[in-house]
Amino acid sequence: MWHLITAPILLPMLTAIIIMLPPVHYSPMRRRWISMISSAIQLVLAVVLLMQVQQQGLLHYAIGNWQAPFGIILVADTLSVVLVCLTSFLALGAICYGSAGEDEKGSFFHPLFQFQLMGINGAFLTGDLFNLFVFFEVLLIASYALLIHAGGKNKTKAAVHYVVLNLTGSAIFLFALAVLYGTLGTLNIADMALKVAALPEQDLMLVKSGGLMLMIVFALKAAVLPLQFWLPATYASASAPVAALFAVMTKIGVYALLRVYTTIFGDTAGELSGIADSWLLIAGLATIALGAVGVLASPDFRRLVANLVLVSVGTLVALVALNTPQSAAAALYYTVHSTLVTGALFLVADLIASQRGKAADRLVSGRRVAQPVLLGVMFVLAALSVAGLPPMSGFIGKLMLLQAVQQPLQQMWIWSLVLLSSLMVIVGLSRAGSSLFWRVSGNDCGTEKAEPLQIFAVCWLLAASPLLVIFAGPLTELAQQAAMQLHDVSSAVNLIIAPGNTGSAP
């Protein structure tokens, strides 16, 4: 059981390799089944790991038994394991949807998908900043290839922008890491927290510039305002299961922001505590506003959902900037809710687009959809949830978020922007829904029906929303516990770095 923490990284990697081996690779059915079964096992293992973390507190695992701070370690606390569970849950839905036919439109869909899961899980579980960079690259190179899966002009165009931007981001990430290593002498997150607390005066500015460069990189991954231009085009052009998985990719940026700016530059960091907070608050609020305007201005439904991703990212980044246990708990609940709902919306958008003939998902009058009741119900449930209306999970998420804001000035800005953006989202979604379902030309409808596996995938993701409401009590407790654990930096550091075992500066 000690090695369980490596399972979310090793299992997708081995699955990807198995899928590429000849007896499996030449049979589409075997590829699909192995991919689906493996991600179901991943979900079970992630839940087991979560229970273990609940019982024993923070777990850490020294890879190759090289002790921290010299070796690379994996760290599982409640926050990271909940996010691993979230990824596995989302991935199972996306793979089921992809297995209904989308995966055969290009080659190597399932191996790439598994490699991307490996990168995402690794990024959540690692306790070392350079290792975080490596896992970022693993998930990025898989996402580059998945983005152009099934081909097409739009995808190639979006992919060029996406790849160039992320390569630039990687270069800045490396600059930041080199600056931090040069001054702190370590890249282990826990050890960095120790070193930052006892930083000599002359190194302050260097570490500050390194820390803020990290903010730029994570803001690029999370798509926060000045760095968000890549997101709508990329997400709108990716094929549906890929876009659904991408819903969790921006959250990795948010997670990295949360991790770095509470553990390393948190309350214990002395002069450098909260260096990014004022930047992040403004950028987050501006992202919410821009996303909400984008929702109203979108010419097609997939772009609208991509803008909904922006709204949720802005909300999360504003919560990260508040830097209190309450805001971290709200951010965790909101992350789980918004990831699953936007993932489901990308899948619903694809189902609608495939049944509307030439009009696809553009918000113009088009052919009648073949299954209006099924798709309509799915759309309404997802829309209610994402807009934050009472019976669904979005409502509780927004409630926690509003409660987490305590200073009057912050309340004024955050409450008004979040509530106003909710209104704009409702307006945008009503407009989209009425054009997609009611503005029909002619009486004939297409013959293309949704596959059972596709319906299952959408229901799987949508079911999460009422479940998040029914089990809201235990889940908010879990989120609060995760937030307390995240903010309890000193005990985590003491656990990871054995006393008297601190690395020496170069």
Partner 1 sequence: METLVACCIGFLTACGIFLMLRGRTFPVMLGLTMLSYAVNLFIFTSGRLTLRGAAVLGTSEHYADPLPQALVLTAIVIGFAMTAFLVILAIRARADLGNDHVDGKLPDADSFKKESR
Positions in the binding site for partner 1 (CB under 8 A) = 130, 134, 137, 141, 144, 148, 151-153, 156-157, 159-161, 163-164, 167-168, 170-171, 174-175, 177-179, 181-182, 506
Among candidate residues 231, 235, 211, the one with its CA nearest the CA of residue 223: 231
Cβ atoms 280, 318 nearer than 8 A: yes
With respect to partner 1, which residue has the nearer C-beta, 141 or 445? 141
With respect to partner 1, which residue has the nearer C-beta, 48 or 174? 174
> Minimum Å distance from CB 174 to partner 1?
4
Rounded distance between C-alpha atoms, residue 15 and residue 3, angstroms: 18
> Minimum Å distance from CB 87 to partner 1?
22
- Token duo for residue 206: 């260097």
With respect to partner 1, which residue has the nearer C-beta, 303 or 398? 303
DSSP 95: H
> Minimum Å distance from CB 189 to partner 1?
16
Q: Where are the alpha helices (DSSP H) in 126-187?
A: 129-147, 153-184
With respect to partner 1, which residue has the nearer C-beta, 199 or 455? 199
With respect to partner 1, which residue has the nearer C-beta, 182 or 376? 182
> Minimum Å distance from CB 102 to partner 1?
20
With respect to partner 1, which residue has the nearer C-beta, 57 or 182? 182
Our CA dihedral for 291, 292, 293, 299, rounded to 10 degrees, sits at 80
Residues facing 368 on adjacent strands: 445
Three-class DSSP category at 71: coil
Distances from the Cα of 487 to the Cα of 77, 88, 325, 397, 464, angstroms: 11, 25, 6, 20, 27
> Minimum Å distance from CB 66 to partner 1?
12
> Minimum Å distance from CB 506 to partner 1?
4
Cβ atoms 246, 237 nearer than 8 A: no
> Minimum Å distance from CB 503 to partner 1?
9
> Minimum Å distance from CB 185 to partner 1?
9
Three-class DSSP category at 77: coil
Cα-only R_g, the chain: 22
With respect to partner 1, which residue has the nearer C-beta, 181 or 413? 181
Phi, psi for 77 (deg, rounded to 5):
-115, 175
> Minimum Å distance from CB 73 to partner 1?
15
Among candidate residues 235, 209, 387, 217, the one with its CA nearest the CA of residue 300: 235
Residue 367 is inside which H or E element, if any? strand 366-368
Rounded distance between C-alpha atoms, residue 376 and residue 381, angstroms: 9
- Token duo for residue 224: 């926060």
With respect to partner 1, which residue has the nearer C-beta, 156 or 406? 156
With respect to partner 1, which residue has the nearer C-beta, 129 or 478? 129
